Every structure is written in C-alpha cells, then in structure tokens.
Structure 1
Amino acid sequence: MRISKLYLLIALVTSGHALATDLALTPWAPSLNAEAVAFLPNGPERLAASTRDGLLLLDNKGAELARFKGNFSSLDTRAAGTQVLVASLDNNRQQALLINLDPAAKRWGTPLYLPTREYPVNGLCLYRDSAANLFVFLVGDEGKGEQWLVGNGSTLLTEPQRVRGLPLPPSAQFCQVDDAANQLVVNEENVGWWAYPAHPEADVKRTPVAVFDNPKREAGAMALVPGGVVALDPKTAQLHLFQRTGPRWVEQSSLSLPGLKEPEQLSINGRQVLVRDDDTGKLYEGNLNWQAQPVPADPVLPEVAALRQSDPVGRQGDAADDPAIWIHPQQPAKSRVLGTNKKQGLLAYDLDGKLLQELAVGRLNNVDVRPNFKLGQQTVDLAVASNRDHNSLSLFSIDRQSGELREAGEVPTPLKEIYGICLFQPASGEIYAIANGKDGTFLQYRLSAPDGRVQGELVRQFKVDSQPEGCVADDQRQRLFIGEEDVGVWAVDARADQPATLTSVIKVGPQLQADVEGLALYQSSGRDYLVISSQGNDSYLVVDAEPPFATHGAFRVGLNAAAGIDGASETDGLEVTAINLGGPWSTGMLVVQDGRKRMPEQTQNFKFVPWADVTRALKLP
C-alpha cells in the first residue's frame, strides 16, 4: 500500500498535477461591499467596484480614501505615470468605462464611456501593447467579444474606437491580459481556460490553458503571475497555477481555499491574494508560497505606423495582394499606388489612398512597373501583372502625364498556375518580365510592341525546388531577388544570357519566418536595402541589397491611434521607393498589403508608411 501511494504521488507531480494544499486565509475589510477588488499598480492601496458604493480607493486595511459614485462591477487597472487607469462596468448605464485615478491626490478623473453594446457585457480587461496603445477587451453573452482602442500612453482617446470582434466561449465571464506575452486568457465556465493572441493584428486562434470534462469542476476568474496564470475553480474552491512551457500550458501547483463555499473574484499582487466568497459576500486575503518561474518573452520588434491607407478593395476575403508605385516623371506628388485585387483586377490610388481607377480584368496576383515602353509610336510607362484566370501576363499602359491606366494586351505563358511577377529594365532600356508558377518554374520574357500589339519572347527559364512568389529586380546591378516561400530569398543574375545560378541571401529562420512573400528594393544615393515580407510573424525584414547581404533588423507596421489607422499583418506584397514624393514621403514611401483590416473591420487594403520612420525605427545608416 505504501508503494502504491508513493507511485501515485510521483504520477501526480510528474504529470503536472501537484497535490493541493490549503491556503491560509483571513478576513479582509469585513464591512466592505464589493463585487470586484484589485491591487493598485505600484502602490499599497487597493480598489473595489461596488454595486452600492461605486468605485473605491482603499488603503491596505480597507478604509475608504476616495469614491466615484455609482453602481459598478468588474475591475482592471494599468499604471499610467503617476496615475492609474481603471476599467469597470457601469451597471446603471450598462456601459464599460475608463477613468483616471490620482492616488496621491485621492481624486477620480472624468470617465470615458464605450458605446452601449447590443449584447450584455459580462466582464472586461485591459491590455497595453509594446507601442503603449491601450485597449479594453469586452467579454459578452453568447460568445460575443470585442477589442477597443481607448488610449495611448497615459492619455485616453476622446472617442474609443472598435478594433475588432472576437469569437469567445459562449459562457465566458472573466478575462486577463499578459501585456509582455500579448496573451488574452478567457474562461469557459464548464470547459476550462483558453489563451488568445491579444495583439490587434493577430490571427484569431486559441490555445487551451486547461480543459476538463468534469461536472464537479468549473472555470472561474483568473489573475496573472510572471510567466503564467492563477485560475480559480469555484466548485472545488481551489486555485491552480498554470505556466507556459513552449506552446503548451502546464499545471504547476494547486491550493485549496478552506472555508469558502463560492469563491468568485480573484486578485493577486506578488504573493498577496484577495478572493471574494460569493456565498457570504466577504473578502479574504492570503499569501502564496509559490515560486513561479518567469517565461522569457518574445523579442519586441520596433513598430512604425501607417500615415495613410487605401480605400478597401471591392471583394471579401483574401483579395488584395501586391502593390507597385508608379512615379510621375515631372510631378512626383501626382504619383500613384497600384494594387492587385486577385478576385477582381487592377486598382490605382493617389498618395492619400483614394481609389482613382479600377480595371476589372480578372484575378491579378502580382504587379510591377517600369518607365518608357514603346507601344507602337507611343512612349508610355508599363504595368505588368500576373493573370491567374488565363495564366498570362496582363499589360497596362500608363499615360506619363495623367497617370491613367489602359489595358494594353496580354502575353500567354505555359505556366499551369502563374503566381508572381516582376520586371527588369537594364541600361539598354528594354523591359523583361519574370513570371513564376507554383511549381517553382521561372520564365523570363522580353516585352515589345513594335506595331502597337504587345508580345513576349521567352528568353530564359529556370526553376527552384518549391513554391515561389515575390521577386524584384535590381536594374542597376542586373541582379534578381526571388523568394521561395518556405526556404528563403535567393539572388540570381537577371540577364537573360547568363546562367541562373542561385546565391542564398537569407534563409527562413528566427528573423525571416515563412511564408516569404513580397520583396522590394529601396535604392537611394546611399545604401540600397532589400525589404522582405516575413508573413509568419507579421513583420518586415531589411537587409543590404549587396553581398554579404547583412541584416539590419525587422519591424512591424503598428496602429496609428491619432489617425485611426490599424496596423498591417499577414502581408503578401509590398513595394518601396526612395523617390521624394513630397510632404511626409520626402525620403520615400513603403506600401504594404494588409491581410487583416481592423478598426473598422473591412475588406483588405494597403498601408502607406513614410520611409523616414523605418530609418528611425531600425537606426539605418
């Protein structure tokens, strides 16, 4: 029998389910009427939300220091300089609110209310990202959830902005966000606890923290600890410590709450614990003896913000794909951004993102431009796109004065699934189109239109081992960069009469995460850079465009709170120019496709970023 018990103990500990011990609890502030309590960030005081007494600032014994009258439930806080931002639910107005608290002056500020929702809000929690944007998550009935932008730094917005909706568990009531890990944790009453990416540009997916199929268990409130979360099970009156181990969550320990019949609310500060027993309405405090092991956070990439964005494309789903920038030869401020809609055709925008033209010619994937193409007796600029309807090259003339685009013809290809395309124009002036297919085949065509009808002469063919897409040509150095989505980026001689010998620029790894998507060249009088869309982690990598292709780091396109423009994520194509386009674009412009349009949620679009901001963010030489 002793041996069996020993084996049982070992099994429980090694499987991540340690035996529960009792947590010593003592009553705290017995006369306090509170639905929720929280420790004040960076201070000894505490907060309470009461349906009878309002929002309360309390000392560590529970004595009232300041009151904001009303009927409140749910509570979360974030430090904001010398002040504290408090989020709660106003039950009288049935609205979430944010309010500043000055603990030193014991003074509440003016509340900021979120708009009334069309569903009952059960709970809320705050989140601050690496760019100091402040968000509030709302947890509602029937699986409804939302993320709202409410401030930046210590300043609240005049009007909160809805960022996105979130499908949450149908019986969720509680949530907490680990800012450093960008993780939202939500309960599902009869199932367990789930973790979601909290960043507004993240994909909506969930990871189980702990799930169970046991009617004797219940998933309740949570509180954060370094590298993990403490979760409350009201039915068993136990606290469970879960910590992240790689992509998984593992239970490290558990504690019983003796004497509590219906523990509901939970707050933790270091080792201090506050818990409320819903059966009696009383609060209790205790001290944890757990040694939580902090989990290293992912490196924080610098962020730049889009200054403009294009009108959303006219098709739902994964539609927008690849941009190109046409430079007006005399007036750069009249330049245009071209973009493909792979469910519709080619789009043209001004530098403020307003849609100017829409050419519904079919499913265009990638597009590129070059100047001075002889279309019969006419000199035009040329845009070429890969047409997935016909596995062909669609050509468009661009009027060099007005910027107007017109269909100029089509060049068929033998590719079974055409995908990417880029153009190459050596000093001699002719224009080559390099198209690729999903099987890895690259075809190089010399384009011409001596009698006004476009034609393409196949001059070279080569292949990579797996699916490519993005490519860009360095006309000056006669070098072609190509992306192999799951492998990395290659350089190859762009000249048609030269062998296609591949040289590795950078391989997929920690910095460049598959899929490798758009490629673009920033070429100025100084150093030249290759910009790569690292789709796997929603970032953009900058490397030297010359051997040994040194890396200068990666950045993300984040939210612009002042302009009401969301960030960019899941980027397919991108383009960049070093030309002075005027105003904020004096040192160039970066355009990226945004795969997840937020704030408001709409069809995909393109984001316009001043290159000067990229230079600052990465400290480029």
Structure 2
Amino acid sequence: MMKTKYLISSLAFLAAFSCSASASAASLPPAVAGRAQEIVALPDGGWLLLDKQGLRLLDAAGKERSKVSLRAKHLDARPHADGMLAVFMDADTQKTYAYVADVKTGKMRLQTSMASPDFSLESLCLYRDAQQLDHVFLIGKEGQSEQWVMHNDSAQLVRKLALPPHSKHCRVDDQSRTLYLNAPDSGVWAFTAEAETSAKLKPVAMAAPFGKLQGGASAISAAPGGVAVLDAKGRKLHLYRQKEGQHFQPAQVVNLPYSAANIQVQTANGKLDMLLLDEQAKTWRGSSTAWMHTAASPEVTVIEPAVQTNTVARYGDAADDPAIWVHPQDATLSRVLGTNKKQGLLVYDMQGKQTQLLESGRLNNVDVRQNIKWGQQSFDIAMATQRDENSLVLYVINGQGQVSEAARFATKLDKIYGFCLYQPRTGGLEAFVNDKDGTFQQFRITHNEQGFSSSLVRNFKLGSQPEACVADDKTDRLFIGEEKRGVWVTSAKADQPADMQMVMPVGKQLVADVEGLSIYFGEKANYLLVSSQGDNSYLVLETQAPYRLRGKFRIGLNLAKGIDGTSETDGLDVSAVNFGGEFANGMLVVQDGYKRLPDGTQNFKYIAWKAIAKAFKLD
C-alpha cells in the first residue's frame, strides 16, 4: 500500500497541460490503462490510451469504443469541438497522424497525416497558437526538427529547426508559447514555440553534475508558466517556474515512493493535478500539489495578411523599409518600394511580384512623395538613406511606376540611419535624416535646369538612437520614433524650434524597439501606425492629443493563401487610397523579420486596412 501522505489527490486530469474542458471523471483511469504508455482524459469521463498496439478510445467504465491499430508512440492532445484532437506517431513508418476522438459517436476519425520526415523521428508534440491553429513539432534524433501547422485536412511546413540532439520527449505550454525538450544526457531545455520569433534555447533543468537531475530527465509535462520534470533515477519530481518569461527557477521537489516512467499534469483551482505511471506496478497513480501561476496575458488581436512579396535575394537581416507609390490613373497598378540593406531598392506590384531591382548599395529607410512641383515641372520622388556613403539617394518615378536613380546628396552624419520626407503646405519637398547618435538634419530639396540639389535648413538632436519618422504634411508635424524611449512629435517647419512632446512612451503597450511609423489619412479620422518590435505587434494611435490608443494587433498566418505571419518589423507604410478589391479602403505594408511557411529570406506583407478598421471599429 502506498503511504497516505503520498495519496494527495486522485483527480482526473485533461489532456496534457492545456486541455481546459472539465472532465467529469473523479477517479483514476481504469485498470486496463496500466499497460498504456500515455493517457489522455476526455471531457465525458472517458479516456484515450496509447500503447504498442495503437490508440484506443475508452468510455468512463473502461470499455473500448474505438481503436486505431498500429505501433503507436508519443501521444499529445488538445480539446476539439467534438471531443479531443490527438496526434501520435507510427513507430514503424515514422508517419504522424492526427485523429479526432468524437465523444458523441465513440469513433475516431482521421483529421490529417504527415509523411515521414527525412530524418530519424524521436518525438512529437502539439502547440495551439493565438489563432487557435494547431502546430506539430517533429523532433529529430540528431537535432534536425520541423514545425508543421495543420489546416483542414492537410498540414504545411512552417520552419525547420536545430534542437538538442537525442531529445526523447517534448511538450508545449501554449500560454507562454514555450516548447520544452527532454534530452536525457543533458537535461530539460526551453525553446520558443512561436515561429515568428528568433530562435532562443534556454536551460531549464540540467543533469548531474551540472544540475540536480541525478539520472537526467525521464519524462516532462508542461504546465501554465512552468514544467514538471521526472528524475530518471532519484524518484523525484521537480517543478520549475518560468520567471518573467525568461529564466527558470526551482519551485518544488516532490519525493516519490516509486519510480515513475511518465507524467501528465493539469492545473485547476490553484493545484497541479498529476497522473504518474508507476514503472514497476504498471499503474497510473494520482497526486497533486499547490501551483499558482500568472494568469495568461490578454491575447492581442491577430489579423491575417492578404499578400506577400517575392523574397529578397540576400540572407539575414536584409529587407527593412517599404513605401507605397500610387499610380495616377489606376491604383491597382500601384507599386511598393522596399529597401534591401545588402543590395539596394526593390519594386513590387500589387500582387507582390518584384518588377525592379536598383542596386544602389546598402539602403536603409525609404519614403515617397508625389506630384512635387518645381517651376513648370512635376515629379514623383522617392528617397532613401545609403549607409556606406552616409548619403541620401533620390529616385524619380514615372507614370508607369518605373523607378530610376536621379541624384545623391552627401550629409555630414557619421552613421546615417532613419529617414522620412515632408511636403510642406507651402510647397516644395524636404527630408529628415538621422544618425544613430540622435542627430537629425533637415534638408530642402530643389530642382532646376542643372538637376536636383539639397541644402541643410535645420539641425536638432534626441537623447538616444532614433530611426523611424513620419511627417504629417497636413498639419506640419513630425512624429519621431526614439527606439528605447517612445514616440515624439514636434514641428516639421524648418523655422520652428524642435520642441519634443511625448506621444507614447515605451512601456506595457509599446515595447522597445520603436521602429516603423506611418499615418493613415482617412476621410473621417487619421491614425498613426507604429511597429512595436519588442513584442512583434503594431499599434494604432489617434494623431491628435491625447493620442489615444485605438488598438494593438499582430499579423498571423493566412493558411488559405500560404502566407506566414510577421515579426521583428523594422519599417512600415500605410495608405488610405482605394487600390481595389480587398484593398478598397487602403492597405498597410510591413517588413517581415522571419520568413516562414516555409523558411526563406525576408519579404514584405500587405494587410487590408478594412481588417484593421473592423477589428478596432475605426472611422
């Protein structure tokens, strides 16, 4: 008999850590579950059991209702409208299956399957993202791994991964978007489950002599805000919490009177309810302990992109800043200009197809103004910062959207960086350009028989590194993004002092770095769009004091069109022009820091303004 102090609780749990539907069962799994390697509780009190003969669906009394016969391994599950979504692997073919266990009909129906990868498959696990899309991680024996996303009856490759080799087990905390990996020889590691982020691997619990796991980790199970780890030799259960989304700290050690081979956990009412597989008795035993975790942060609105451009020709951090040029007769023939910091200026059509490449060197920021009049002539102008020369490059755009370089202007900046154009209400064209040390220079651009020229008309300086800026030509104001501090506004007029007023500081909503800025000029209201690079989101602010925040969103997957989401956005541009179709109310263009679905070099995404307006009830 197990001692009373170890029989803390025998509450049934739900599938893995994240299944939040209420289970009606108030007892441990039926005795037949003892031979199961993994188990999942169902909302009707029934069970899913995985053993070497397959996956079985049982009712609350332990009677088999349905079965998928194969040599199955590595079960993971999430709630489904009809009961439970379960994924597992055929150990012989390495093929991954996703089945829906329908608790009403008592049947299991195939949702989708994934062919064997071109590496030795060691483990797999599920992840449900903020869009409620289900991802599958395929963990390879030699560290080669992949992330797939399921859509209808198919699956698409999201990205390829390099993870700790010989990882025997994986689980994901959907709340913190953390993938946990159990590598017995080294310990437990944490990796970001969200594809639209940089790859970061962090140690959680290390095997002796580098950590407290005497025999390494035999099994893991994620919980909201942390992970439960079974010591392979020490008959101990270690609980770890994730602190502020960064580091991991020991929360509790539970001594076990038996050697546990596997664990499944569920949190409820401030407790961590556990089912542990007694390795010798071949019995699933129940236990619980206190577990208080930080409530999940409110989910940020997710908006799908409508179009993506061809990818750039250079790897790494290359694409940076877009600008929109509007065709004077047919807006559907408009162009998007984008900088490649390793090559030059790219030009795309409204379908995202590249139409031009101007190899102008290492360009950073680009901006466009149209119908600029000098004397009897009128020009559509684009300008960009050139980082090798610390210069400004001026381009002329003809009526068909063909771009050509026309002039270069030297500056006295040491590290030229951000840039934007300004068209004063009195006419002409001016340019703001900044240095990484915070210095701003304002130039006036002119044109005569000899061509284009520039003259310096104002200097001012911020306390730290800026980049993005956008001029409100209608009100002669300049919005500036100081990367670590926030968004400022000042007069754009060259004859006025640069008195800075804070629009929004860096904080909970605007997370450093502050990057792209652009203004949507609507019929009834104007809105400032800001790239909050630190949390891969975008803010919509009113352009008049008190600069009320109207919404915050992320850009997610559009699986129907095969377009990935966005992250670490540098530059963006927005226009209220009717471009036709889904862009009838305008569009937002953003740079994407990580190309997924599948992996590739960076590109730009187009988002329909009507989707943003609908999400936040904008005028």
Q: TM-score, normalised by structure 2?
A: 0.91
1:171 aligns with one of 154, 158, 166: 166
1:609 aligns with one of 597, 607, 610: 607
- Which residue number in structure 2 is paired with residue 588 of structure 1? 586
- Which residue number in structure 2 is paired with residue 390 of structure 1? 389
Where 2:601 maps in the other structure, the secondary structure is coil
Where 1:617 maps in the other structure, the secondary structure is helix
- Which residue number in structure 2 is paired with residue 541 of structure 1? 539
Give the whole-Å Cα distance in 1 for the aligned partners of 2:534 and 2:243: 21
CA separation of 1:34 and 1:74: change in aligned 2, threshold 3 A: farther
Whether 2:452 is the aligned partner of 1:441: answer no
Where 1:289 maps in the other structure, the secondary structure is strand
- Deviation of 1:226 (Å): 4.2
Where 1:525 maps in the other structure, the secondary structure is coil
2:487 aligns with one of 467, 486, 489: 489
Give the whole-Å Cα distance in 2 for the aligned partners of 1:518 and 1:225: 36
2:238 aligns with one of 237, 240, 244: 240
Whether 2:65 is the aligned partner of 1:76: answer no
Whether 2:183 is the aligned partner of 1:188: answer yes
1:69 alignment partner AA: S
- Deviation of 1:76 (Å): 0.6
Maintained 8 Å contact 1:25/1:257: no
Maintained 8 Å contact 1:121/1:138: yes
CA separation of 1:33 and 1:283: change in aligned 2, threshold 3 A: closer
Structure 1: 5+ residue stretches without partners: 1-20, 152-156
Give the whole-Å Cα distance in 1 for the aligned partners of 2:250 and 2:469: 47
- Superposition pairs for residues 164-563 of structure 1, below 5 Å? 164-214=159-209, 216-246=214-244, 247-260=246-259, 263-269=260-266, 273-277=274-278, 283-373=282-372, 378-400=377-399, 402-563=400-561
- Deviation of 1:25 (Å): 11
Larger mean CA deviation between 37-46 and 74-83 belongs to 37-46
- Deviation of 1:283 (Å): 3.2
Where 2:347 maps in the other structure, the secondary structure is strand
Maintained 8 Å contact 1:323/1:338: yes
Give the whole-Å Cα distance in 1 for the aligned partners of 2:199 and 2:467: 25
Give the whole-Å Cα distance in 2 for the aligned partners of 1:229 and 1:587: 46
Maintained 8 Å contact 1:29/1:283: no
CA separation of 1:318 and 1:385: change in aligned 2, threshold 3 A: same
- Deviation of 1:140 (Å): 1.5
Maintained 8 Å contact 1:50/1:72: yes
Give the whole-Å Cα distance in 2 for the aligned partners of 1:509 and 1:74: 41
Where 1:568 maps in the other structure, the secondary structure is coil
2:263 alignment partner AA: L
Give the percent of matched residue pairs that are identical in Structure 1 and Structure 2: 42
- Deviation of 1:374 (Å): 5.0
Maintained 8 Å contact 2:278/2:284: no
Maintained 8 Å contact 1:75/1:125: yes
Structure 2: 5+ residue stretches without partners: 11-27
Give the whole-Å Cα distance in 2 for the aligned partners of 1:169 and 1:23: 36
- Deviation of 1:548 (Å): 1.7
- Which residue number in structure 2 is paired with residue 9 of structure 1? none
Give the whole-Å Cα distance in 2 for the aligned partners of 1:524 and 1:306: 21
Where 2:613 maps in the other structure, the secondary structure is helix
2:371 alignment partner AA: N
- Deviation of 1:111 (Å): 4.8
CA separation of 1:31 and 1:297: change in aligned 2, threshold 3 A: closer
CA separation of 1:381 and 1:25: change in aligned 2, threshold 3 A: closer
The one-character-per-residue Cα deviations of 1:370-412 (angstroms, maximum 9, x if unpaired) are: 1123589753200000011211110110002x11001111111
- Which residue number in structure 2 is paired with residue 18 of structure 1? none
2:84 alignment partner AA: V
Larger mean CA deviation between 370-379 and 187-196 belongs to 370-379
The one-character-per-residue Cα deviations of 1:542-571 (angstroms, maximum 9, x if unpaired) are: 111112211113111111121111100000
Give the whole-Å Cα distance in 2 for the aligned partners of 1:373 and 1:416: 30
2:262 alignment partner AA: Q
Larger mean CA deviation between 476-485 and 191-200 belongs to 191-200
CA separation of 1:572 and 1:28: change in aligned 2, threshold 3 A: closer
- Deviation of 1:436 (Å): 0.7
Give the whole-Å Cα distance in 2 for the aligned partners of 1:381 and 1:234: 69
Larger mean CA deviation between 220-229 and 449-458 belongs to 220-229
Maintained 8 Å contact 1:398/1:405: yes
- Deviation of 1:497 (Å): 1.2
Give the whole-Å Cα distance in 1 for the aligned partners of 2:36 and 2:307: 44
How many aligned residue pairs are there? 590
C-alpha RMSD of matched pairs (Å): 2.1
- Which residue number in structure 2 is paired with residue 88 of structure 1? 88
Larger mean CA deviation between 525-534 and 445-454 belongs to 445-454
1:276 alignment partner AA: L
1:564 aligns with one of 558, 562, 565: 562
CA separation of 1:383 and 1:478: change in aligned 2, threshold 3 A: same
1:64 alignment partner AA: E
CA separation of 1:361 and 1:393: change in aligned 2, threshold 3 A: same
Give the whole-Å Cα distance in 2 for the aligned partners of 1:383 and 1:187: 52
CA separation of 1:265 and 1:289: change in aligned 2, threshold 3 A: closer
CA separation of 1:36 and 1:615: change in aligned 2, threshold 3 A: farther
- Deviation of 1:589 (Å): 0.2
